[in-house]
Structure 1
Amino acid sequence: MPTLDWIGKAAVVNHHRKVGYHLLRCDRELSAGDVDAGNLLVQGDNLLALKALLPYYAGRVKCIYIDPPYNTGNEGWVYNDNVNSPEIRQWIEATVGKEGEDLSRHDKWLCMMYPRLALLRDFLTEDGVIFISIDDFEAHRLRLIVEEVFGAQNFIAQLVWDKTRKNDAKLFSVGHEYVLAFARSLATLKERKTVWREQKPGAREIFDFWKSAKARHGNDFQAIQSELRAWYRELPRNHPSKKLSRYKWVDQYGPWRDRDISWPGGGGPRYDVPHPVTLLPCKVPEAGWRFATTEEMQRQVRVGLVEFREDHTEPPFRKAHLLPTPEELATGNEEAEEEVENGSEEEEAGLLVMPSLIQKQAQVSVKLLRRIFEGRKVFPNPKDHEVLARLIRYVTGPNDIILDSFGGSGTTAHAVLQINRDTEGSERRFILVEMLPEVAVEITAERIRRVVAGVPGVPGLGGGFRFCKLGAGLFDDSGNIAGEVKFPDLAAHVFFTETGLPIPKRAKADSPLLGVHHGKAVYLLFNGVLGDKRPAGGNVLTHSVAQDLPVHPAGKGPRVVYGEACRLGPKSLEQYGITFRQVPFELKVD
């Protein structure tokens, strides 16, 4: 596979492994709203912040969106790594001009991006996705280094975001940017038969009308249908919901229309389906039943997705809801599933595949940010939260985590909060990192605070976040555990070191047992967690300490104990079923 080379690459390819772990310290005064909502805003260099977050969120983030510096030569970005290498010092110390020294400028940008991309990959779930905004200055170089970090086989698409037209351009009006999309594992997405879809224009308005009518009429579906059909008639001819007026029936799942219950293409199964009133078998469609087995047919009937005629002389029909239920998309036969994958099912319903061209004027987000900040212009070129919400909603579920390590004006947080307000049952969470203290406090946090509570002209979305700052390193200059490190801090790092996964829940300093992974129980002796049993306050594994360890949760199994020292010999360790690891020497920093 072709790769990209540049001055300093050798020094940064593995630099993310050498970055030290730091503590995170939350600031309640800068937090806002519901601080227990699971949302975080971290102020600090994003390379250090990502490493600090890794023990808690590795493999748990479903979607990453970043909007890094575009390196146009007109910006004073500050994401510089102080790597002690002659090659890196060469581009750090060089003065990068706007016009000249292009090679140095691109080298510098690539050296900044590479280790951050390498860390970001470790946060994604196996079916996770990363979106990266970029323009023509670095798009081609970015594509190559993302292919190197994520694998060329995991490329999904390069979206085009058409934002504006520049009438003062000399040659062409270049008003677009790109959004590069890569999967952590495209093979996993295919294996899980992942299908992404978004709502058709007008579908949300219909569904919202149904919800409001249901609030008034309860389960009086006839009354709701009457209101819905009257509403359709009153819509302007060019209204997008007008095109979906075939969804004129309603039930507990929402508006629906009738669909054929035949097997696609003919040759489907034939079995008896009793009519609920006459109890006689319904007429079988000429092409056979849609569902492969009588059990699947009865399941569809049971959950209310099959509508029978007045008697058995005609086949029933399927309900196709405006927003299909999981049962509707789980069709029960491979041929019908192929039809779903080819798009005909969702095309007929209120769902569509997202195109690779996004059209949204840039000035919309500029005006919104000014409105949020009561007329002040606080940030150049903010991204559009509705476009980000569209991308995030497209690839995530209701309980997923979204990460943005170039937090900027806080657009990603705004998008997640908007989705949660607009989508019933959505409890998506965001993690943002912003490097500059003044931006993090005065713009990023302030924007989130204002959209949570609401300001004139911008309704409050609810939710909240914790504001965190980078604290001291986990290790001091001598390589020992830093003095301000507490038991929960070290516990998260120990569990991640041993398993490669985040700790199941925040550890408390009342038990050395941190959790179990693949049958192996992990323990930490630190700060006298078992009480002050000499020597060294219980941080040393002795016979007394080993006997006081909590038993393996399964009653029996391997145990790994991290501690300051061990006074037990090999036979005793084998007797207790313990593998000992010495802190800090056997704690990885990569």
Structure 2
Amino acid sequence: MKSRAASSQINNKLIEDIVSEGKSLLMNAEGLELLSTVKDSSVRVKMALLDPPYNRRTKFHHYDDSMCRDKWVDALDHHCRLIRDCLTEDGSLWLHIDDAEMIRARIVLDRIFGEKNFIASIVWQKSVSRDNRTSISTTHEYILVYAKDKNLWKKTRNKLPPTDDQLGRYKNKDNDPRGPWTSGDLTAKAGPGRREAQFYDLELPSGRVVRPSVGTAWRFTKERLEEMIADNRIYFGGGNSMPRLKRFLTEVDPGLVPNTWWSGEEVGTADSAKKYLKALFPNLTPFETPKPEELVSRAIKIATKENDYVLDIYGGSGTTAAVATKLNRKWLTTEREERTFNEFTLPRIEIACASANHNQSLSNNFVIIR
């Protein structure tokens, strides 16, 4: 399942060989070592998913989250400039952050990727409980999303799967052989772009004559609407209702365009992530700020397809690589702290791979470099 190589062997050819063989890579090293090598190779990744220290001026059990602000900004700038060069042309960077350095992170990323390539600032509800010890309880964090080329990224990004409620709106009231459908309004605001041919009377099957209300127009000309009526694409209810356009499930993409609010109920919370880590490693102190697998899974599903490469230079507890494995994505991951690498990153990935190997399509071979 895995092979090992010495850290001194890391070079462009090794990276290219690993990728050409469809393997993933785990390194116990500084992220810059991997980034510099990938940048100078022909390898490109579809997504970089980063969960760096937030610089909260706090010392956690597993790492010191306190750094001179200028040094923190310089480090982020250096990393992200290299990451941009490592992305495919339709690739994207996803950066976890909170209010401590949110503004400075935006400035850095705007400068590197360009403001025009900013996609969104996703708000994650990290906690569903209220902290009464504070002046105002902070229950959210952010994920900043930037594309290398926003227009290209939009063409390849994935929608979220349709919900049961969304699919339930499609029914087949008239037994149309094309299957379930939902209906939409046939009128639109009568703005400057409307043509005179979109204002006309229409006779319903019942004989009643109707026309759009004041300030609106038909979406189609009368000639086009009659063609659609002949093709049974217009629904009149019992014959006396305003016409509606039939949209067939087989002819539309029922997926949901992602929005910027990711609730804890949908993608998990920091508390649920801690409980999961505690269950995996009952004898270890869990990370104070882990990310739930559901959160990481949603981001990866939006930004990548199967067998794409995901980059993570802050391996930590191994969430990104573990989730990528389960989703049949490849990954390049580094964790600099040897203790964290041995206690969390490597074992977490091994557990994910062992589970995935029950399904051959999810198996994920990886190389370890120390």
Look up the SS of the partner of 1:354 in the other structure.
coil
The residue type paired with residue 319 of structure 2 is: T
The residue type paired with residue 176 of structure 1 is: H
Look up the SS of the partner of 1:467 in the other structure.
strand
Correspondence 1:384-463 to 2 at 5 A:
384-420=292-328, 428-454=329-355, 462-463=362-363
Correspondence 1:88-107 to 2 at 5 A:
105-107=68-70
Correspondence 1:198-347 to 2 at 5 A:
198-202=160-164, 244-245=167-168, 257-258=180-181, 265-267=219-221, 284-286=227-229, 319-321=248-250, 328-329=251-252, 346=253
- CA drift of 1:375 comes to 5.4
- The corresponding residue for 2:258 is 354
- CA drift of 1:97 comes to 11
Query: TM-score of the superposition, structure 2-length normalised?
Result: 0.70
- CA drift of 1:53 comes to 2.4
Correspondence 1:22-33 to 2 at 5 A:
22-23=10-11
- CA drift of 1:108 comes to 1.6
- The corresponding residue for 2:58 is 74
1:132 and 2:86 matched: no
The answer to whether the Cα contact below 8 Å between 1:198 and 1:354 also exists between their aligned partners in 2 is yes
1:141 and 2:99 matched: no
The residue type paired with residue 143 of structure 1 is: R
1:369 and 2:277 matched: yes
Distance (Å, rounded) in 1 between the aligned partners of 2:142 and 2:278? 25
- The corresponding residue for 1:152 is 115
Distance (Å, rounded) in 2 between the aligned partners of 1:386 and 1:432? 19
Distance (Å, rounded) in 2 between the aligned partners of 1:268 and 1:400? 48
- CA drift of 1:37 comes to 4.8
Aligned residue pairs total 305
- CA drift of 1:151 comes to 1.1
- CA drift of 1:129 comes to 1.1
The answer to whether the Cα contact below 8 Å between 2:122 and 2:260 also exists between their aligned partners in 1 is yes
- The corresponding residue for 2:37 is 52
Distance (Å, rounded) in 2 between the aligned partners of 1:430 and 1:121? 16
Distance (Å, rounded) in 2 between the aligned partners of 1:376 and 1:116? 30
- The corresponding residue for 1:423 is none
The answer to whether the Cα contact below 8 Å between 1:366 and 1:382 also exists between their aligned partners in 2 is yes
CA deviation vs aligned residue, 1:382-429 (integer Å, no higher than 9, x gap): 111111111111122233221111111111112212323xxxxxxx21
Distance 1:289 1:127, change over 3 A: farther
- CA drift of 1:143 comes to 0.6
- CA drift of 1:370 comes to 1.5
Tell me which structure has the larger Cα radius of gyration.
1
1:171 and 2:135 matched: yes
- The corresponding residue for 1:546 is none
CA deviation vs aligned residue, 1:64-112 (integer Å, no higher than 9, x gap): 1100110111137999xxxxxxxxxxxxxxxx996xxxxx710121122
Name structure 2 gaps, 5 residues minimum.
1-8, 15-19, 173-177, 188-218, 234-245
Look up the SS of the partner of 2:229 in the other structure.
coil
CA deviation vs aligned residue, 1:172-204 (integer Å, no higher than 9, x gap): 0012111111110124346x5x564211333xx
Distance (Å, rounded) in 2 between the aligned partners of 1:179 and 1:261? 34
Distance 1:372 1:259, change over 3 A: same
- The corresponding residue for 1:469 is 369
Distance (Å, rounded) in 2 between the aligned partners of 1:449 and 1:78? 20
Look up the SS of the partner of 1:366 in the other structure.
helix
The answer to whether the Cα contact below 8 Å between 1:247 and 1:257 also exists between their aligned partners in 2 is yes
Distance (Å, rounded) in 2 between the aligned partners of 1:38 and 1:268? 58
CA deviation vs aligned residue, 1:545-564 (integer Å, no higher than 9, x gap): xxxxxxxxxxxxxxxxxxxx
Higher RCO (CA-CA < 8 Å; seq separation 6+): 2
- CA drift of 1:454 comes to 3.8
Name structure 1 gaps, 5 residues minimum.
1-20, 27-34, 80-95, 99-103, 203-239, 250-254, 271-282, 291-316, 322-327, 330-345, 421-427, 471-590
Query: TM-score of the superposition, structure 1-length normalised?
Result: 0.45
Distance (Å, rounded) in 2 between the aligned partners of 1:97 and 1:266? 59
Distance (Å, rounded) in 2 between the aligned partners of 1:163 and 1:460? 32
- CA drift of 1:45 comes to 0.8
